[in-house]
Structure formats: structure tokens, C-alpha cells
Amino acid sequence: MEKKYIVGIDGGSQSTKIVIFDLEGNIVAEGKENLRPMHLADGGVVEHPGDDLWESLCIAANKAMEQFGIRKNNIVGIGLGSIRCCRVLLKKDGTLAQPVISWMDKRVATPYVHENPEVSYVTSTNGYLTHRLTGEFKDNIGNCFGQWPVDYETWDWSTDEAVLKQYNLPREMLFDVVKPGDILGYITETASAKTGLPVGIPVIATTSDKAVEGLGAGLIHDTSAFVSLGTYISSMVTGEEMPQDSVNYWGIMSSIPGKYAYEGYGIRRGMWTVSWFKDLLGEKISLRANYQQISEEEYLNEQAQHVPAGSDGLMTVLDWLANPWEPFKRGMMIGFNAHHDYRYMYRSVLEGIAYTMKNNVTRMTDELGKEMEEVIITGGGSNSDLLMQIFADVFNLPAKRNVVNGSASVGAAINAAVGLGIYPSYEEAVAKMVKVKDVFQPIPENVAIYKRLNEEVYQGLTEHTDTVLSKTFEILHANEQSA
């Protein structure tokens, strides 16, 4: 019997990744294409230039299919995942009426405004890519997160006229929606010519990018916490009900129909801070890493592992990108001594990430009344053994790392596998397709140090520094206004 394969599409904010898996979750081919820089304009406008999302998908898919070779007829399905909270405005024929509006654009935080008479449909990135791949005017309901008239009980569009009016989106402007695991359509001849994907292959719905990433990491039990180490570092747990009036988290639709994912607060420019620090060190670190024939990140991790837990009092606050409602916030390193060098600074950045996410997850799980038994870490930052151990020690939980750390594509493939009936349940699909690489156990002496430093110092640090930063912002802002 010939082997079968599934394609997982992971459309992100910075790149599109296409990964081809066998039915056991092993990667057999992959392609990636970076997106072009965003178009920025006055008024908080942030748009994807041209037809970038579709064009990057085509290029990435062709790279993956070229690597995959002659087995293309053994592909049985495609799971489609893409970034959430964007807004795509289409003409009646399904072509773009204007560039795709990014999730970072101020307009997506408010109801849609009918300004362009050419606009017939308002959809998500998933809806748009579905149309390009299949010709259907369909979307997955899970990616309609934010300013969309969604009924979270029925997993469908709301039929309440007041809700439709609130979001200013009449039903005729919305695509038909399906649930995760349902078929959106089939690859057309036109799409096949552009992407290299086989004609007639079913395209399966996933959900929002973060929820499908959680599924691909193996987040199916409500005793597991999930942390994604990306440009934006996020946290998530799972549950059975859509929350009402939550304070420390919000609910979204899970990639498993009928379940929900609870998302806690994260870190903006999270792992970007690590890249910033590496670039700040410059050629000195680059030369040393090249001499040892390792990456700069590997060199920094190797050096920082000799620094004791707690970085001898040096702490980093990860406010490198302030929220709009707290414009005075700034990133900080506090507690320097003469012997502190780049090794201590680097470790303190990693510890600051772990402290922040531990506190965010704890606030979320305390409100939910849940107790965690493990933390699953994904994303590029999970390649660091040092950061994995710091997470285990700060959380005082086993920290699990998977073989495939870019888990969104795995989640998309799992949705396709269950939707096509290859596996009868999501539990079985996760057991077969998500492979654990290793688990880091807490080191008791480090746990004790981190617990006291976090609870007695780090958690209250910004209560003292915010006053100073706020005054500084006030002075500088006043000068800007008078200039």
C-alpha cells in the first residue's frame, strides 16, 4: 500500500510556510517564502502590499512540491491555516478590492466602514486564500476572531440583527462558514498551475493561527499550558466553554470543534528582543560563533548556561513595545554590577521572558480554577536548551519540546487528517502525529531561587519604575508638542 501525505499551510505575519507530512507527522518536504515589508501610512494604516499573501503561498507551495517530487498523487488533503484578525475586502468576482488590512492596522479594531463601492465581500485571510485555492466563497468560522458577528454557541454567523448592525456586516457580505475539519473546497486547475498542488485535492478548514498552533503542539488536555515563543510570545490553555467577563484571558474557538482555547496575555516583541540583543553585540559575537562553527544563538546559550540562576540580581523587563494605553512603558535592565557582561545580560533576558509568561499563565489559570501539570513550549526559541530549562525551573513544571517546533503546520495537518477520517478523533491524531523530542524537569535549587525572585521582586518591579517612566514620557512628550 502506497504511503499517503497531508499538506499543512501556515500563513504567518512574516512568511508563508508549506509543510508536507506523512500520516505519522514526519516532515517529508517543506517550502517557505517571506512576506514583503508592510505598507505603512498615517492614521495607523498597516497593509500587506499587492497580493502578497497569495503570491507567497504560491512560491512556498512550489518549493515544497519540487522537494516532494513525483509522489504528488499520494497527497490526500490540505489543511489551510493563516493569520487572524486581518480584514480582506473583495470585489464581486473574489479579487482584492484593496490590499489586505493587517491585524496591526487600527481599522481592524473597529467595525467595518463601507467606504469603497467596489467591495462586495468582507472576509478573513483564510476566506480569501480558500477562494484563491478552490474558487469557493467559504471561510472557517474559527478565524473570524475580533470584529465579526460570530455566534460562539452555534459556531456560525449570528442571526441577531442587533449583532449584525453592531459589526456593520450584513450577511450578504460574508462568506459561508464551516467548522474545523470540514471541507472548504477542492484545488482548482488554475490554483494547481500556480501552486503545484494537485488538482481536486480537498482543502480542510482549521481555525485561527494561534489555536491551530496549540493543536499542533498537542494542547488537548486542560492540565497543559502552551507557550509559543515567537515575535509575539503567547500563552494558552484549553477548555469546554466560551468564557464570559474574563479578566486575565479571553476565549477563542479551538481547532477542535466544540472546544475553546483560552489565551492569556503575552509579550510583544518577545523573541525579537533576543535578536535585538544579539545584533547589539555585533561582530564580536559573530566572529566567536563562526570560529566554533555554531550559530550566534547557540554561542550565547552556551556562554549564558554558566551564569547562575537569577543572573546575580540582573533583571530584564520585556516592555520593548508599549501597548497603546501605556505609551510610557519601556524595556529595562536593572541591577547591574561591574562584573555583569553580555552573558548575564543575555540570561536575564531569557529569565525575564520566563518570569513574564509564568505570571501571565498563573493569573489566567487561577481565574479559571485550573492547575497545570506541564508546559509545552514551541517556536524558534524552544531550540534553546537553556531557555527550556529556565522555563521548567520558573514554572516548576516539566517543560515539553516537540520534534516539530513550528506547530501551526502540524495542527493544520491534524485538522485535515481528522476531517478526512484518517484518524477517528483529535486525541488519536495528536497521539500519532505530535512527537515529543524531550522534556526538561525542574531543578529544585533553581526553582527555589526563581520563586523568591519572581514573587518578591520581579512581580512588583514595574510598580516602582512606572512612576519614573511615566514622568520621563510626560517631559519628552511635552517637548515634542511644543517643538
The grid cell for 40 is: 505603512
What band does 42 get if pLDDT is binned at 50, 70 and 90?
confident
Amino acid present at 442: P
- Residue entry with cell 545584533: 279
What DSSP assignment string belongs to 269-302?
Answer: THHHHHHHHHHHHTHHHHHHHHHHTS-HHHHHHH
- Cell numbers found for residue 321: 513595545
Exposed/middle/buried for residue 11 (C-beta within 10 Å: 0-12, 13-18, 19+): buried
Predicted structure pTM score: 0.89
Residue 479 has pLDDT above 70, yes or no: no
pLDDT in tens, 178-194: 999 999 999 999 999 99
Secondary structure (DSSP) of 75-120: EEEEEEEE-SS-BEEE-TTSSBSSPPBPTTSGGGGS------TT--
Q: Which one, of 207, 202, 238, 228, lies nearest residue 427 by Cα?
A: 238
Length of the chain: 483
Q: What is the DSSP letter of 198?
A: P
Closest CA to 242 of 221, 264, 218, 261: 261
pLDDT tens per residue across span 231-282? 889 999 999 998 888 999 999 999 999 999 999 999 988 888 988 998 888 8
Higher pLDDT, 88 or 289: 88
Q: What is the mean pLDDT of the chain?
A: 93
Exposed (0-12), middle (13-18) or buried (19+): which is 191, by Cβ within 10 Å?
buried
Are 214 and 233 in contact by the 8 Å Cβ rule? The answer is: no
410-469: pLDDT as tens digits: 999 999 999 999 999 999 999 999 999 999 999 999 999 999 999 999 999 999 999 999
Does position 68 have pLDDT exceeding 80, yes or no? yes
Q: Report the pLDDT value the prediction gives residue 1, as an integer from 0 to 100.
A: 60
Instruction: Using alpha carbons, list the distances in angstroms from residue 357 to 236, 268, 306, 366.
Output: 10, 12, 23, 14
Q: Cβ(328)–Cβ(322) under 8 Å?
A: yes
> Tens digit of pLDDT for each residue in 349-371?
999 999 999 999 999 999 999 99
Domains of the chain, CATH where assigned: 5-211 (3.30.420.40)
Q: Collapsing DSSP states into helix, strand and coil, what is residue 47?
A: strand
For the chain, percent of residues with pLDDT exceeding 70: 99
